Chains A and B, each alone.
Chain A
Amino acid sequence: MKKPQNELRCTFVSNSCNEALARGIATSFLIMLDPTAEELADVRCSVSEAVTNSIVHAYRGTSGEVAMILRSYDDGTVKITVSDRGCGIGDVEQARAPLFTTAPDEDRSGMGFSIMESLSDKLTVKSALGKGTKVTITKKLSSKKSSPT
């Protein structure tokens, strides 16, 4: 894909209060692109799932940095990458399966990846044990406007 029209990079500590912060940042970035209410809600939820995964699973029992990069393109596509340097996922295919969770006793529903998949147009997950995980959410907005006016 071509050069993004707009880009925002941020890094935050893996505190659970930053789940809301990440949604707020994604909302601010997206609002300039004039999304529909549904599209905005889809992206907010997807970002929340990705960031929560990093906080709950990647940095389990420890803490670290979560990096989020938001990019918009001139055809209305938005790509959001959430990455951590946490424990990594051994079996990505298994992790993406609906209802699969490694932490049922912590009230995890096992639906994070399924929800991200269903709310986005494309979801890629790259992970290496001991190195970290990078999740990229792609969402095509119906409005063509991709740069702030």
Chain B
Amino acid sequence: MNELIKFTQEREMIVFLPRELDHHSAASVRAEIDSALFSKEPKALVFDLSGVEFMDSSGLGLVLGRYARASVLGIPIIIRNPTPRQERLFTMAQMHKMVKIEKEAKNDEKAAK
């Protein structure tokens, strides 16, 4: 993983989640995400899943925990570019009601895989 967090000109905070998103890797990125969230107070918190090849319920937990913090600050959460399998997990946990799930058109190479 090269870069975990990026800010856009529109003040979106984009988090590029690790390739294998499990309890172990979630624990290693949590603190950095929270510290950036509270210090920068972005307009939106985006979790980009383009690089995620594996995700289990710990990925859901990571997003849920950030949702709890972001909603206090009034910051919406966006899940960007999940695979159908990843999207199913979010739906199973009823999280599609809390976060916005969106796909970027330019990310064709992932869909083609």
Most chain A CB atoms below 10 A, which of B22, B55, B94: B22
In the complex, chain A residues 103-130 whose Cβ is within 8 Å of any chain B Cβ:
106-112, 114-115, 118
- Contact among A17, A56, A111 with B60 in the assembled complex (CB-CB below 8 Å): A111
- Contact among B27, B30, B65, B92 with A115 in the assembled complex (CB-CB below 8 Å): B92
Is B54 within 8 A of A52, CB to CB?
no
Segment at the interface with B among A1-9, A43-51, A87-95: A43-51
Most chain A CB atoms below 10 A, which of B22, B56, B89: B56
Is B56 within 8 A of A115, CB to CB?
yes
Assess whether A30 is interfacial by the CB under 8 Å rule. no
Chain A residues bordering chain B, tally (CB within 8 A): 25
User: How far apart are the CA atoms of A82 and B22 in the complex, in Å?
Assistant: 17
Is B60 within 8 A of A19, CB to CB?
no
Is B24 within 8 A of A20, CB to CB?
yes
- Contact among B20, B23, B93 with A52 in the assembled complex (CB-CB below 8 Å): B23
Assess whether B78 is interfacial by the CB under 8 Å rule. no
Q: Tell me if B's interface is mostly helix, strand, loop or mixed.
A: helix
- Contact among A19, A99, A106, A118 with B22 in the assembled complex (CB-CB below 8 Å): A19
Q: Tell me if A's interface is mostly helix, strand, loop or mixed.
A: helix
Interface band, chain B = 20 to 34
- Sample of 20 more A-B contacts, CB < 8 Å, known A19-B23, A109-B93: A16-B22, A16-B23, A17-B24, A20-B22, A45-B54, A49-B57, A52-B22, A52-B23, A52-B56, A52-B58, A55-B23, A106-B61, A107-B26, A107-B64, A108-B61, A109-B57, A110-B93, A111-B93, A114-B92, A115-B57
Instruction: Identify the A interface with B (CB < 8 A).
Output: 16-17, 19-20, 23, 41, 44-45, 48-49, 52, 55-56, 98-99, 106-112, 114-115, 118
Instruction: Identify the B interface with A (CB < 8 A).
Output: 20, 22-24, 26-27, 30, 54-58, 60-62, 64-65, 85, 89, 92-94
The 8 closest A-B pairs by CB, nearest first: A107-B65, A16-B24, A107-B61, A109-B60, A109-B61, A111-B57, A48-B56, A52-B23
